[in-house]
Structure 1
């Protein structure tokens, strides 16, 4: 009876460990401004435009429509536009601020700075261009346009 219990416990422990390992495969990158999970695959194997913004930042407000346009233009082209709130807003505050600025692209509630080794910027807006391998290829300070970002992405992609 004791051996059977040990074997059962051993199988149970192995099942729990296997479950935990498989759960790790379903990793996500946090949630967006609407509280929806962001699949980690959206941050892998494609170019990323990661823009840091704040509601109090005048140039950010002017830049948002350009980023909305760029996100629509690049849909399905192995490039995705993401926003990150500089002030670290979460939940309802992040949703409200994103809506106030008219942001239509995905805003990450979890800052991806650690994942991509993004250097901290004390000035806004700042936009990082990250290649398919997760390497930061450019750091653009100040207000950007859709045309300027598209041009810079093409230049960087051509040098690969």
Structure 2
């Protein structure tokens, strides 16, 4: 009986030690998604990211964009990327721009990338569970998800600024 228990334990240890390890951080998974389905370049090692999921029909999304554009300009030249994903097509965005000629969104923009938006929405552990936008995902310079939150508010803008203070450098 002891021999059988020893064999089972040895087999378990062998199988466990030889299983493929999952990727070490979110950035690796995200970059795999970008490689497969996006015109957005992958996130570089040591690079932080502020990611937004939005839509042209979302009033709060549109309302927060001017403040978010200011943040982009404030952190220009720092080691951070600002990327926005919309499940809408680029054609929908172009139609939207015809109606709002002064509209500008200074993030890198990706349209119709359902794989990336699904991955981002899966990070929302709030009561909304990825069903609400704007959704903000903050990726630290180590490639880990630092924060995920929903909504357009001065508090959320402050969260983004605080994150950037801790995760950027001009080096």
Question: Is TM (by shorter chain) over 0.5?
Answer: yes
Question: What is the total number of aligned residue pairs between the two structures?
Answer: 121
Deviation sequence 1:61-104 (CA, Å, 0-9, x none) = 1111111111111111001111111xx12232234446744212
**Cα distance change, pair 114–122 in 1 and its aligned pair in 2 (3 A):** closer
- Measured in 1, the distance between the counterparts of 2:120 and 2:96 equals 25
Task: Quote the residue 1:131 is aligned against.
Answer: 140
2:108: which partner in 1? 106
- Alpha carbon RMSD of aligned pairs, Å? 2.9
Query: Who is 2:165 aligned against?
Result: 154
TM-score by length of 2: 0.58
Identify the structure with the greater strand proportion.
1
Are positions 1:119 and 2:130 aligned together? no
Deviation at 1:113, TM superposition (A): 4.7
Gaps of 5+ in 1: 1-26, 32-37
**Where has structure 1 moved over 6 Å in runs of 4 or more?**
114-117
Q: What TM-score does the superposition give when structure 1 sets the normalisation length? A: 0.61
Q: Unpaired segments of 5 or more residues in structure 2?
A: 1-34, 125-129
Counterparts of residues 22-101 of structure 1 (less than 5 Å):
30-31=38-39, 38-40=40-42, 43-45=43-45, 46-85=47-86, 88-97=87-96, 100=100, 101=103
**More deviation, 135-144/91-100:** 91-100
